[in-house]
């Protein structure tokens, strides 16, 4: 039992990190409205030729999508409030996945960097 | 009792459910560590599928194509751009709102013991209602996907037609399969709720299902932008 007692304090502290401060209804509906609006903006942009053909289209779509991704992960999946180990378990593979994706796109010439090595 | 586990009541003292879970020396529920590890591995699975789609994008020799019309050289038949953005936008809204319903279902289970004075409290505190809403929205999303797939097949795009068809059906099919698993999971929670009522001690089980469901949602956020909206 000594072992149990020794573990109780850190357990309680960690359990506190594990999710005492989950947001409530007021936060959830605000996030839902933001997600709805951002998706509406994305879809509208697709139908606005001036936007859709401009160079800002792809970066703006990726930014809007990233904001939605982060909002769901931080607030609905409670990663903002949960223990940092959970954050590491998610962000670690996510970074590896993103780097793999970018690496493959470079490898197959879907992305390129202009190095300016002329002459 | 081993040194690596804690009695559930200690770790659950913060109000987190413990329905059968073990706790690590960090005081974290093993099931939550498992689901986050699983979600991390799923990130890599979907990254590989999305990479494949993006690499093959624009390399199909014959149509139909996602965003441009195509004329069959032999028959002269014209195939329109195949992606139906309005339908997919509607299904995206449905999936996003299902995530909202899911967090409300989890909050309802966590706060089951709180007194409910007003009608608003009763609605927000009904885990059955929010689980039903989430399930139905999940089924609706699958219905949209079935509609989209059958329309594509009718218009001449199958998994064997071209590179676009192969990578598109593989990516969205895998995602749809994940949604189907999530819907089954949510229906099983609903069945438990009807049988004995989900209690705050079940909150971790509901939380794990919710994490999976939200993950399926965030993957769709990425797919919707990369596959449907960016030409």
Its ipTM equals: 0.85
- B46 Cβ neighbours under 8 A, 6+ residues apart: A97, B171, B174, B175, B219, B222
Nearest CB neighbour to B47, from listed A20, A24, A98: A98
Disruptive mutation site among B12, B21, B28 for chain A (greatest number of A CBs within 10 Å):
B28
Residue B139: pLDDT above 60? Answer: yes
Task: Please write down the HEC assignment for all residues of chain A.
Answer: CHHHHHHHHHHHHHHHHCCCCCCCHHHHHHHHHHHHHHHHHHHHHHCCHHHHCCCCHHHHHHHHHHHHHHHHHHHHCCCCCCCHHHHHHHHHHHHHHHHHHHHHHHHCCCCCCCCCCCC
- What is the mean predicted confidence (pLDDT) over B23-27? 74
Give the minimum alpha-carbon distance from A114 to chain B in angstroms, rounded to a whole number: 20
The pLDDT value recorded for residue B148 is 95
Give the minimum alpha-carbon distance from B157 to chain A in angstroms, rounded to a whole number: 23
The two three-digit tokens of residue B35, written as one number: 């689901």
Per-residue confidence at B8, pLDDT binned at 50, 70, 90? Answer: very low
For A104, the closest chain B residue by CA position comes to: B51
**Dist CA B50 CA B65 (whole Å):** 17
Q: pLDDT tens digit string along B168-194?
A: 999 999 999 999 999 999 999 999 999
**Model pTM score:** 0.85
- What is the mean predicted confidence (pLDDT) over B226-230? 94
Task: For chain A, positions 82-101, list CB contacts with chain B under 8 A.
Answer: 83, 85-86, 89-90, 92-94, 96-98, 100-101
Per-residue confidence in pLDDT tens, chain A, 119 aa: 333 333 333 333 333 345 456 788 889 999 999 999 999 999 999 999 999 889 999 999 999 999 999 999 999 999 998 888 999 999 999 999 999 999 998 898 777 766 665 54
Q: Tell me whether B35 touches chain A (CB under 8 Å).
A: no
- What is the mean predicted confidence (pLDDT) over B136-164? 94
- Tokens 């609903």, located at residue: B190
Using a CB-CB cut-off of 8 Å, the residues of chain B touching A29 are: 100
Return phi, psi of residue B180, to 5°. Answer: -60, -40
Q: pLDDT tens digit string along A30-51?
A: 999 999 999 999 999 999 999 9
Q: Tell me whether A70 touches chain B (CB under 8 Å).
A: no
């Amino acid at each position: 039992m000594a072992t149990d007692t020794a573990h109780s304090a850190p357990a309680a502290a960690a359990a506190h990190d594990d999710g005492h401060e989950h947001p409530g209804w007021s936060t959830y509906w605000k996030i839902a409205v933001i997600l709805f609006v951002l998706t509406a903006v994305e879809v509208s942009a697709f139908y606005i030729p001036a936007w859709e053909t401009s160079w800002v289209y792809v970066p703006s779509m990726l930014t809007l999508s990233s904001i939605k991704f982060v909002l769901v992960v931080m607030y609905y999946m409670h990663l903002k409030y949960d223990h940092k180990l959970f954050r590491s378990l998610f962000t670690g593979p996510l970074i590896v996945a993103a780097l793999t994706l970018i690496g493959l796109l470079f490898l197959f010439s879907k992305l390129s960097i202009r190095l300016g090595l002329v002459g | 009792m081993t040194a690596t586990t804690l009695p559930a009541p200690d770790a659950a003292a913060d109000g987190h459910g413990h329905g059968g879970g073990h706790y690590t020396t960090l005081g974290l529920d093993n099931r939550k560590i498992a689901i986050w590890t699983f979600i991390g591995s799923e990130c890599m699975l979907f990254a590989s599928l999305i990479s494949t789609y993006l690499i093959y994008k624009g390399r199909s020799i014959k149509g139909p194509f996602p965003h441009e019309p195509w004329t069959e050289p032999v028959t002269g038949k014209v195939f329109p751009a195949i992606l139906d953005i309005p339908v997919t936008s509607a299904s995206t809204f449905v999936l996003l709102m299902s995530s909202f319903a899911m967090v409300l279902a989890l909050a309802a289970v966590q706060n089951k013991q709180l007194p409910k004075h007003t009608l608003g409290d009763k609605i927000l505190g009904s885990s059955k209602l929010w689980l039903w809403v989430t399930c139905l929205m999940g089924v609706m999303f699958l219905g949209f996907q079935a509609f989209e797939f059958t329309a594509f097949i009718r218009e001449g795009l199958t998994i064997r037609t071209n590179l676009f068809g192969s990578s598109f059906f593989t990516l969205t099919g895998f995602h749809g399969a994940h949604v189907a698993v999530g819907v089954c999971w949510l229906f099983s929670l609903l069945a438990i709720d009807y049988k004995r009522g989900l209690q705050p001690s079940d909150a971790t089980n509901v939380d794990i299902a919710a994490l999976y469901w939200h993950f399926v949602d965030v993957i769709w956020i990425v797919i919707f932008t990369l596959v449907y909206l960016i030409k």
